Amino acid sequence: MSRRLPRLLAAAMLIILLSACGSDKTEEPMGTMPPALAEKMAEPKLVHKDDLFEMKLNIGRTEFKTGEPIELSASLTYIGEEESITVWGPGTRVVFAITDGKDFDMDGATTLELASHELARGETFEYPFEKSGGFGADDPDAAFWKKFYAEKELRLPAGTYLISAVCNFSLTEEVVDSDYRGEVYTTVTVTE
């Protein structure tokens, strides 16, 4: 029996050593926010402006109480050199998304039709916030999402969220590799 003890101890130490070596992948703990999202939340971008468009996120404040409606919109103005520009995509040219970086994700669903839309230089289009997204019937939070999408107003549970508005169109009819990448965003805090 005394001969077996050193062998058992050696085997146990080998198992511990091998299990400690494992994979060299470093996994993020559950609930850890991706760095790019954390950076956006730390530095809101309320205006996007380039040679073609100016896009703004219109929100009066960023701190709310639970149950309080959050009102916001986005505006888009063509500011290019031509009298007008034709863009291609669905009727919804701006899509909203919301995330807390953990459990809450409203990704901003859209349709896939391809229609042309002419935008005149200097004309501003307003896009009030609209919920869009979906969930599966087997989602453990299906009851929450069903209620969330049924309400017209945006009301969020306590937490910190990134709300973004993203352009949803292309600059050519071919669409591939011609997406316009305008995006504006801010961080909203909801407390009890």
pTM of the shown model: 0.79
* Residue indicated by tokens 């910190």: 160
The answer to whether 94 and 168 have CB atoms below 8 angstroms apart is yes
Domains along the chain with CATH numbers: 32-191 (2.60.40.2550)
DSSP string, 12-60: HHHHHHHHHH--S--PPPTTPPPHHHHHHHHS-B-EEE-SSEEEEEEES
Give residue-wise pLDDT tens across range 130-168: 998 888 989 999 999 999 999 999 999 999 999 999 998
Q: What is the pLDDT of residue 177?
A: 65
